[in-house]
């Protein structure tokens, strides 16, 4: 058990003694109170201490913020940011503000208005001591104003070089993808970044930001990011960031033979593929655009894994010969079949309700309203059958009775469903300019894309490593916000990587949970006729927490 010392002081107010527990540390060379808590009057304390062996007045988060701060120290992150964003030695530096913001994003994402409150409840009050006034939202915004997009690029370039040089980042498979984040920025607020577009969280009514990222497979660790206007299509943004991304790889000393880029089908275009010509890549194609390949029977495929088959061929795609890998997965086929069947059942239920409604008109059971016409029923049925495959799988007829009423007849097209099962379900089409690669390598490389997809899911998780909340509205501050969110991803990725390299198999969520529950607790020990003794201890650790504590060398952040 490692111990941290605090002190209890007495203050005389109106002739009465009052007691406080506090911690002091030098800030800018001067002693400052970095944390203080009121305990009460002497008589109140005496009653409390007589009643129990020890009093626990407070607890502080230790494990997760200390582990993340350790990663920032490994990177020399504060010093690197301060090199590019210097200021006079007064209060916290720009690097300290941004590292605090990044650690907050991992631990407990909050607004700048509440970050001081969070900070006071963590070990960071000792590791990065700061007066309360320096952590106001205004001070954060003032320091964010000091960071330009050019400085962000320069910092990220140096970080990427350092990661490649010191952490042995595997460059053989680099994963690119984009996502977007809705905001509550008002329509009338000026700015280029926040725009309306197709939102992946179905919030098309709100302005959104686009985020492009290039990450390594091991970690995953971000090596490049770009914030872009929310209305841009993925393929247009890929064209815009491709050259800067390739320049970043060249800066790392990586050649075409060293790197394979992985991207999804949303980034495809003849121009984008032409720009990638000097590098190797693996991507996906829209499988329905190649009906001749879909017609190839599964008996011609080769088994590559349990429940997975593949068929290799070559084809000219976007004006260049590529290796094509047609993949069939039983799990994917079952999932697609279940999804289509679910949608089919919903459409059949709605058609049944519509047919019954029409029959009520025929039987004369409707007392008011205009009777449905052929055109109105046609329109309604077409709306019901909107959705992938539905118009193929359900056939219908509309008949008009002698009285001018409409009758609906419908049926499931079993032959069309069988054709989908045979030709489409479970299939995906990959392509690469790695002409010598076998199916197993092409498939495993493309499936590594899940690392960047999981990264985006993490950024949309409100509890850890979150892009939300976004309480900024100017383009410059949105760029800085995105930057410290990417730094949060980097610190979290390095933390998970270090733990796994130490032989501890654990998920990111489990890691956060274990470290979050490792806390500092302030204890008061009664002493007869003397001031109580204040001691800070770590909570009792589980065996897994002890492993993490040792692997991450967290002892250095405690004082015996």
- Using alpha carbons only, give the angle 151, 157, 161 rounded to the nearest 5 degrees: 150
Rg (CA), the chain: 31
The better pLDDT of the pair 238, 152 is held by 152
CA distance 170 to 501: 14
**What is the pLDDT of the chain when averaged over all its residues?**
89
pLDDT at site 12: 82
Rounded to an integer, what is the distance from CA 415 to the centroid of its chain?
42
The predicted-structure confidence for 337-385, as pLDDT tens digits, reads as follows 999 999 999 999 999 999 999 998 988 887 677 889 999 999 999 999 9
pLDDT at site 118: 94
CA distance 429 to 425: 12
- Name the pTM for this structure: 0.82
DSSP secondary structure of 22-73: EEEEEETTEEEEEEEEEEEEHHHHHHHHHHSS-EEEEEEE-HHHHHHHHHHH
Residue 558, phi then psi, degrees to nearest 5 = -115, 155
Most confident range, picked from 31-35, 168-172, 242-246: 242-246
pLDDT at site 49: 57
CA distance 177 to 213: 6
pLDDT at site 546: 95
- Report percent pLDDT > 90 for the chain: 64
Mean pLDDT of 23-37: 73
Residue 25 has pLDDT above 80, yes or no: no
- Report percent pLDDT > 70 for the chain: 94
Mean pLDDT of 396-402: 91
Residue 53 has pLDDT above 70, yes or no: no
Residue 431 has pLDDT above 70, yes or no: yes
Residue among 175, 256, 81 nearest 456 (CA): 175
With residues binned 3-state (H G I as helix, E B as strand, rest as coil), the percentages for the chain, rounded to 5, are 45, 25, 30
pLDDT band at 460 (very low <50, low <70, confident <90, very high): very high
The predicted-structure confidence for 197-233, as pLDDT tens digits, reads as follows 999 888 989 999 999 999 988 878 999 999 999 999 8
Residue 492, phi then psi, degrees to nearest 5 = -65, -40
* Enclosing H/E stretch for 335: helix 330-362
Residue 28 has pLDDT above 80, yes or no: no
The predicted-structure confidence for 289-334, as pLDDT tens digits, reads as follows 999 999 999 999 999 999 999 999 999 999 999 999 999 999 999 9
pLDDT at site 296: 95
Contact 40, 32 (CB under 8 A): no
pLDDT at site 559: 64
pLDDT band at 1 (very low <50, low <70, confident <90, very high): very low
pLDDT at site 2: 39
pLDDT band at 485 (very low <50, low <70, confident <90, very high): very high
Order of strands across the sheet that contains 174-182: 222-229, 208-216, 174-182, 260-262, 280-285, 427-432, 320-329, 308-317, 302-305
CA distance between the termini of the chain: 9
208 three-class SS: strand
pLDDT band at 168 (very low <50, low <70, confident <90, very high): confident
The predicted-structure confidence for 503-515, as pLDDT tens digits, reads as follows 999 999 999 999 9
Contact 220, 452 (CB under 8 A): yes
Contact 412, 393 (CB under 8 A): yes
């Amino acid at each position: 058990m490692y111990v941290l010392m605090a002190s209890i002081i007495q203050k005389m107010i109106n002739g009465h003694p009052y007691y406080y527990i506090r911690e002091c540390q030098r800030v800018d060379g001067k002693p400052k109170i970095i944390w203080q808590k009121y305990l009460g009057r002497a008589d109140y304390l005496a009653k409390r201490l007589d009643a129990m062996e020890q009093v626990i007045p407070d607890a502080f988060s230790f494990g997760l913020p200390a582990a993340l701060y350790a990663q920032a120290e490994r990177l020399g992150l504060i010093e690197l940011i301060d090199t590019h964003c210097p200021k006079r030695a007064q209060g916290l530096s720009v690097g300290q503000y941004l590292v605090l913001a990044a650690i907050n994003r991992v631990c407990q994402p909050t607004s700048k208005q509440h970050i001081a409150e969070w900070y006071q409840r963590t070990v960071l009050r000792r590791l990065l001591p700061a007066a309360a006034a320096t952590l106001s939202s205004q001070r954060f915004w003032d320091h964010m104003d000091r960071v330009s997009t050019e400085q962000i690029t320069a910092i990220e370039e140096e970080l990427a070089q350092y990661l490649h040089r010191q952490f042995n980042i595997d460059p053989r498979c680099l994963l690119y993808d984009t996502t977007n984040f809705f905001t509550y920025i008002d329509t009338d607020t000026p700015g280029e970044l926040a725009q309306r577009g197709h939102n992946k969280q179905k919030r098309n009514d709100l302005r959104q930001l686009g985020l492009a990222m290039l990450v390594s497979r091991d970690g995953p660790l971000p090596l490049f990011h770009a914030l872009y206007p929310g209305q841009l299509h993925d393929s247009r943004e890929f064209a815009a960031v491709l050259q800067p991304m390739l320049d970043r790889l060249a800066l790392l000393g990586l050649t075409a033979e060293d790197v394979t880029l992985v991207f999804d089908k949303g980034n495809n275009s003849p121009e984008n593929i032409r720009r990638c010509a000097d590098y190797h890549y693996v991507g996906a194609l829209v499988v329905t655009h190649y009906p001749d390949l879909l017609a190839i029977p599964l008996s011609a495929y080769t088994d590559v894994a349990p429940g997975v088959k593949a068929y290799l061929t070559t084809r000219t795609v976007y004006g260049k010969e590529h290796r094509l890998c047609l993949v069939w997965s039983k799990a994917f086929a079952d999932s697609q079949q279940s999804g289509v069947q679910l949608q089919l059942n919903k459409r059949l239920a709605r058609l049944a309700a519509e047919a019954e409604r029409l029959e009520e008109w025929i039987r004369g059971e409707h007392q008011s309203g205009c009777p449905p016409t052929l055109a109105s029923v046609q329109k309604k049925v077409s709306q019901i059958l909107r959705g992938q495959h539905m118009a193929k799988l359900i056939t219908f007829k509309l008949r008009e009775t002698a009285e001018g009423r409409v009758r609906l007849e419908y049926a499931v097209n079993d032959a069309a469903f069988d054709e989908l099962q045979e030709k489409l379900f479970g299939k995906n089409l990959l392509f690469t300019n790695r002409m010598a690669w076998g199916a197993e390598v092409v498939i495993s490389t493309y499936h590594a894309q899940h690392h960047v997809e999981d990264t985006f899911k993490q950024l949309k998780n409100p509890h850890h490593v979150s892009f939300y909340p976004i309480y900024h509205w100017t383009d410059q501050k949105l760029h800085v916000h995105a930057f410290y969110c990417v730094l949060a991803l980097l610190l979290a990725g390095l933390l998970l990587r270090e733990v796994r390299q130490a032989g501890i198999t654990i998920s990111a969520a489990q890691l956060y949970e274990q470290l979050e529950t490792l806390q500092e607790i302030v204890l008061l020990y009664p002493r007869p006729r003397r001031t109580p003794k204040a001691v800070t201890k770590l909570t009792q650790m589980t065996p897994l927490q002890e492993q993490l504590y040792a692997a991450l060398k967290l002892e250095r952040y405690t004082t015996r």
